[in-house]
Amino acid sequence: MASSLILSSVLMPLSVRGSGPDEGGTVFPWQDGSAVLVGAYMGGYRNISEGVSAAKDGQTVYIAPGLYRENVLVDKEVRLVGLFDRYIGIDGMRGNYAIRIAANGAGLEDIVVMNASNGIEVVSCNDVTITGCKALYCYIGLSLANCTGTRVESCNFKRNSGAGMYLADTMDVHVNDTGSSENGYGFGMYYAPFTTFENCTANYNSKAGFYLYWLSFGTRILNASCTLNWIGIHVLDVDDVLVKGCDLGTNIRYGIHLMSQDSRVENCSISTLEGDGIMVENSERVLIVNNSVQSCETGVVLATSNNISLINNILRDNRIGIKLSRGSNGNTIRMNDIQKSYSFDVSAITCGQNEWSHNYWPDSELNDNDGDGLFDGQYIIGGDPQGMDCSPRAFPLKKYRAVSRIFWEGEPTENRTIYLDGSHSWPPSEIVKYNWTVSGCGIHLSSNSSRITVSPAGSGNLSIELRVWTNSSRDNHYLVIYIKEEVHQEEESELCMFRTVLIVLFVSVSVIMITSLNMYRRFRRPLPPAPRW
């Protein structure tokens, strides 16, 4: 009797109120037929496969705590949910899978799988949801193949010899708050476009935390923690990849190894034990911006890569700051800090035709005599006269930079007088100098005041540049405004008259056509039958 009371109290959160044998009695979902219960000691089915067979589409199969040795096939739209937030384990007995999902809209929640080739296998189905599940000691913890719209949330894949999670021939998969550690690969992808990983963890994997391969374009890796892997993120022949806000600390060979086009690495913290922070190889049109790369053999390496933009990064305590190998041309390296350490050997090594500007070089022997924040002269990079920074900065980036902003009044595309205001730049109390350069539309103007007035003489693109200085930093802001061609009052009246004539002509033609059509229909109409007298 006491055990029945305890069991009822535990099940109470899953119960629903309704009519029962007694007034106000509790009816559990599996008692009123709206769900199925697995667990022989609770009066349910003996194993999970029997419960799935008994369930109907749209129902939930509740699984009591315990270890189930079976291979479960979910071939209908049901949800498998573990009860009581306790251990519900499925031992796949070294089979091909512990759970295979092959039905649209199916789902798993709070289940542990182990000891199978694929712990959880999702095959040829769409819109599957997997929440709070774990996969241990499998070859692949979670395998997705030929499916779309899968959602994986708050899962954990650990100690799987092949990969914690592997996607092949999938699309539009979203993975949130999921960990994959101590596997071969943390997350592996092959032909899996438009996949998003957000707030995921990939640590201690023997090969790579994230491995993207072949046509997995459009992948987004956001706010991931990816440490102590052989390679943090490995992108091999995959385009349009975004890596943003990630912690890639103390990986062994590379923080990021990128072979890609039209990709972006932004706001990441990267370090390695014995390799390079960011390796960009055989790539084009990659933007690397606002990252911190430190304690690496080389901070950033560009190898046979073109049109790479390396902007506003901090490279600290690396033996070599930036290295450009042969075949790397047309790259832009701008506004970076290459900071020294006790083991610092070389700021940068370069070759090819590339643009270097406004970088901070700690080993520069130049001076800033005019106090504009730039060294007076050109910095020769790595002793190569073909590579030089024509505008080297005299100061490193601080916790903040002076942020320049431009405000204007009126409608600049129509109004010939534009009031430009830079006094809203931040931090306003510390700005010591302004500099405006305005060109185009028949004017060329320079000013050192915080506000200026511009009157374009013609139409076209008006280019505006505002520079602001503090005592320790400098910033630029660019703006292009299109000025319409000025329309005089006489021309405007002629245009109005021309529009009026066109409208009248259009209305007249429309009326004539409608009248003609009605008359045509009237004359073609058959005669009514003769009346009968």
375 token code pair: 């060294």
CA–CA separation, 458 and 45 (whole Å):
83
How confident is the model at residue 494, as a pLDDT?
A: 60
How confident is the model at residue 17, as a pLDDT?
A: 28
User: 427 preceded by cis ω (within 30°)?
Assistant: yes
401 token code pair: 């930079």
The DSSP letter of residue 318 is -
Digit-by-digit pLDDT tens for the chain (533 residues) are 333 333 333 343 333 323 333 344 567 788 888 899 999 888 899 999 999 999 999 999 999 999 999 999 999 999 999 998 778 999 999 999 999 999 999 999 999 999 999 999 999 999 999 999 999 999 999 999 999 999 999 999 999 999 999 999 999 999 999 999 999 999 999 999 999 999 999 999 999 999 999 999 999 999 999 999 999 999 999 999 999 999 999 999 999 999 999 999 999 999 999 899 999 999 999 999 999 999 999 999 999 999 999 998 999 889 889 999 888 999 999 889 987 654 556 788 887 789 998 898 887 878 877 766 678 888 888 756 678 898 888 877 764 567 787 887 766 556 678 888 888 787 777 788 899 999 888 888 899 988 888 888 888 888 888 988 876 677 888 788 878 776 554 555 665 676 677 777 777 777 777 666 665 555 444 444 444 43
Nearest to 27 by CA among 10, 7, 11: 11
CA–CA separation, 481 and 341 (whole Å):
44
CB atoms within 10 A of CB 262: 14
Phi/psi for 207 (5° steps) reads -115, -65
How confident is the model at residue 94, as a pLDDT?
A: 96
Q: Are 208 and 231 in contact (CB under 8 A)?
A: yes
Give the side-chain half-sphere CA count within 13 A for 469. 17
Phi/psi for 316 (5° steps) reads -130, 140
pTM here is 0.73
How confident is the model at residue 300, as a pLDDT?
A: 96
Cα angle 120-126-131, degrees, rounded to a multiple of 5: 45
How confident is the model at residue 410, as a pLDDT?
A: 63
CB atoms within 10 A of CB 461: 11
How confident is the model at residue 490, as a pLDDT?
A: 53
Largest Cα separation within the chain, whole Å, is: 121
75 token code pair: 């071939």
How confident is the model at residue 9, as a pLDDT?
A: 34
CA–CA separation, 242 and 287 (whole Å):
10
101 token code pair: 């999902």
How confident is the model at residue 384, as a pLDDT?
A: 65
How confident is the model at residue 433, as a pLDDT?
A: 87
Give the side-chain half-sphere CA count within 13 A for 358. 14
- Topology classification of domain 407-483: Immunoglobulin-like (2.60.40)
How confident is the model at residue 150, as a pLDDT?
A: 97
Cross-strand partners of 181: 158
Domain edges within the chain: 226-397, 407-483
Q: Are 414 and 385 in contact (CB under 8 A)?
A: no
Nearest to 54 by CA among 32, 37, 69: 37
CA–CA separation, 167 and 173 (whole Å):
9
Q: Based on C-alpha coordinates, what's the Rg of the chain?
A: 34
339 token code pair: 């900071």
The DSSP letter of residue 13 is G
How confident is the model at residue 479, as a pLDDT?
A: 81
CA distances from 225 to 246, 275, 281, 473 (A): 6, 19, 23, 32
